[in-house]
Structure 1
Amino acid sequence: MQKSSVQDSNDNPKEESNGAEQLNEEELSNRDTFFDAEIGDLVKSKFRIIKKLGQGQFSNVWLCRDILKSKYIAMKVIRSKSYYSGHHEINMFKKIHSTDPSDQRCERLLKLSESFIVPNKVEGVHVCMVFQTIGYDLCSFIQERYSKGAPLFKVKSIIRQILEGVDYLHSKCGIIHTDLKPENILICLGDDDIRRIVDFANMQEIRPESGEDQINESNAGNENASGPSAIAGDMQTTTKSKSGSPVDCTLRLDIFSGGEINIKITDFGTSCTTSGILTSQIQTRPYRSPEILIGADYGPPVDIWSIACIAYELATGYILFCPRSIDGASKDEIHIGLMVQLLGNIPKRIQDTGKLSPKYFLESGDLINVDTSRRCNLYQRLVKVNKWAPMLAYPFADFMLRMLEYDPRRRPTASQCLQDRWLKK
């Protein structure tokens, strides 16, 4: 039987494949379960709706003005049929920020300001979460400012902050994030930047029709994605000009070109405690760890794998693992094949821990349906494909390879990653 060949995922730029999963028929037929509001509506007698920031699979997000405190906020409204998942996320937020508020690492995690319930116009109720307005997500940062990779000093700063937040989650809270990705890393903005964004939104509202519709794009997410990004929303809204380029691109580039970058981690809708794992269906496709793909038990190390994938994407502008469907092999098989091409064969002892492994592997340990003979290790990819200088590629590859360890028990903790020579240099 002829095996399917996999394409090097580095051939696929970020804009061509962002890992987004399509909404299924059930989701499309349940649009009436989303919060329905009009611009100018007043929610809970104090939040004036200014603009819909976007809509995802489980929620929509609105830019609002708190008329009592005279400040802007982002309000995430969970669809009525996801009531319990909304409460789960609220409980995660409360646990995170009540465990040790004095710990500075806690500042790397988005904080919930308040939550409440509003009725649905058809049936049921909506769980609402209020957040400070933050800014654009890391995905926008990569696509619009550093499509070929950010300067390494910025990469180090951002990854260091992500690791600090995850270290707090793991070591202090006993929480696994389970869905770390650029869309769930938000860039903090100053008050002036927020005012400029709001002014721009208001300008767009009164701009005459140009014949182009506003496009709501769900960012790279998985079937479980429900967290906020893009001004604390889980979707980014871009208004395109006749030429097809975002008319707010200049504004974003100006914001992204600032000096020091501070981030906050968001989206705890699928997070779980280490003692209360909820489901095996976790992680957005490009950031999914091998233990999830083979159906093995998992823990905090899944987050470390995802951070390595984010680091590569930040540094190069490319997704590390971007499997495409190929006849004769499932996307999971292709995904595993890409890992093997880059990192070598998955040890048999690791394969044997996964209940799904018999679907993918022969007794010899080779993949059943995927040809992985075309090998290119991480250092080679950085030098030959991404055109990095060897002196830069070696230490970065070494940093990443520690986090891309197949055996989750040997993968470093977030605290250990923070001590890495590349990150501290």
Structure 2
Amino acid sequence: MKLGEIVAAPSGRYQVIRKLGWGEYSTVWLVRSQSSQNYAAMKVMKAVLTDRPELRETEYLRRVMTADPTHPGFQHISHLIEDFRFEGPNGEHVCIVTELLGQNLHQYSKRFPRHQVPIAIVKSILRQLLAGLMYLHEKCNIIHTDIKTTNVLLTLPDGATTTPINLIPDKPTVKLIDLGVACWADGVDDHWTEFIQNPALRAPEVSIGAGWGTPADVWSLGILIFELATGTFMVPDDAHEISIPYMHAMLFGPYPLALIKKGKYSDAFFKEDGSQLYPQDAQAPMADTIRQFYKGPDLEGLTQFLETVFRLDPEERPTLRNLSQHPWLSTT
């Protein structure tokens, strides 16, 4: 793409304004419709991925738009405007045009001392994400698999193209983005990788190859809330995947033997009796970690909520609907 370039789409023509971001598989551009003058975000996938059957982002986005627009969570998932193919010098690219959104939650947290978002705002964000994820799980049959602060964006005021840096809304409205590595909930076995989630966000069942489903999204959501409230990572963001089960054991205690027995890769971490292959002397319970970093109000409520989320056994982990009814969320 070149700045100022005109891209033809089924609905009309888009002018490329500037680059918004990039990743391993795509670049994202700020574009403006020449017919409506509205701004949008256009993701341009690498040409080598154009006909890869395992990448189904456009299918997921279409399902989001049609499953049940009356559902409360519909407004908390990024909306597709259109998708099309564009011929470039490197081949044919899939282009995905979505509504324009603002800062992500990682950027937003930097507005606050020690990057700790006030707990009332954290609760507001959590309620919105629970609604959005319930929509994905229950209405769209989609597991996101990549929930993190950089994949949750603030909505913009009408007509805006950037988020005012001096504006800290009392109750920001957020939307979950990027279904690029999502999965049909009833098609997990056909997903292109069994190791979903970045290692630091990875659920215990994923780490040892014990199979995964919608509870994996619940785990990542808990880590996101921990990060917003404390201003730090629960698991270091540069942690190697081989260390994740040991870090989980430090934070939450030993893995359940029943879960270990389900894991295809458990023998890399555990002995036959369920004890760790490389024993750890140190313990760093999550509750102590929260108290170390978080000095704000409602400490016990926050701790109890996260202890409810972080169950090592996914069968014991609460559903999104269970969490939405948690007493901690009934107060501001």
TM class by shorter chain equals over 0.9
- Asked if the contact 1:85–1:269 (Cα under 8 Å) also holds between the matched residues in 2, the reply is no
Which structure is higher in RCO with an 8 Å CA cutoff and minimum separation 6? 1
- Asked if the contact 1:99–1:173 (Cα under 8 Å) also holds between the matched residues in 2, the reply is yes
How big is the alpha-carbon RMSD for the aligned residues of Structure 1 and Structure 2?
1.8
Q: Which amino acid aligns with 2:250?
A: Q
Counterparts of 2:326 and 2:177 in 1: how far apart (Å)? 25
Aligned to 2:328: 422
Deviations 1:7-51 (A, max 9, x none): xxxxxxxxxxxxxxxxxxxxxxxxxxxxxx211110006111111
Aligned to 1:360: 269
Counterparts of 1:323 and 1:270 in 2: how far apart (Å)? 19
> Please, which of 166, 178, 188 is the counterpart of residue 267 of structure 1?
178
Aligned to 1:81: 48
- Asked if the contact 2:200–2:238 (Cα under 8 Å) also holds between the matched residues in 1, the reply is no
Map 1:117-266 to 2 at 5 A: 117-122=85-90, 124-145=91-112, 147-191=114-158, 194-195=160-161, 197=162, 251-252=164-165, 254-255=166-167, 257-266=168-177
Aligned to 1:321: 235
TM-score (structure 1 length as normaliser): 0.73
1:323 to partner: Cα distance: 6.4
Q: Which amino acid aligns with 1:381?
A: T
Counterparts of 1:99 and 1:324 in 2: how far apart (Å)? 37
Aligned to 1:116: 84
Change (3 A) 1:403 1:393: same
Counterparts of 1:182 and 1:47 in 2: how far apart (Å)? 29
- Asked if the contact 2:229–2:294 (Cα under 8 Å) also holds between the matched residues in 1, the reply is no
Mean alpha-carbon deviation: is it higher for 391-400 or for 159-168?
391-400
Deviations 1:74-124 (A, max 9, x none): 1110010111459610000111221111212111111100011001213x2
Aligned to 1:42: 6
Matched positions, count: 324
Aligned to 1:9: none
Where 1:167 maps in the other structure, the secondary structure is helix
Counterparts of 2:127 and 2:52 in 1: how far apart (Å)? 30
Query: Which consecutive unaligned segments of at least 5 residues does structure 1 have?
Result: 1-36, 198-230, 232-250, 326-330
Query: Which consecutive unaligned segments of at least 5 residues does structure 2 have?
Result: none
Map 1:266-285 to 2 at 5 A: 266-277=177-188, 278=191, 279-285=193-199
- Asked if the contact 2:199–2:241 (Cα under 8 Å) also holds between the matched residues in 1, the reply is no
- Asked if the contact 2:121–2:170 (Cα under 8 Å) also holds between the matched residues in 1, the reply is no
Change (3 A) 1:129 1:324: closer
Counterparts of 1:416 and 1:146 in 2: how far apart (Å)? 32
State percent identity of aligned pairs: 30
Counterparts of 2:219 and 2:104 in 1: how far apart (Å)? 20
- Asked if the contact 1:346–1:406 (Cα under 8 Å) also holds between the matched residues in 2, the reply is yes
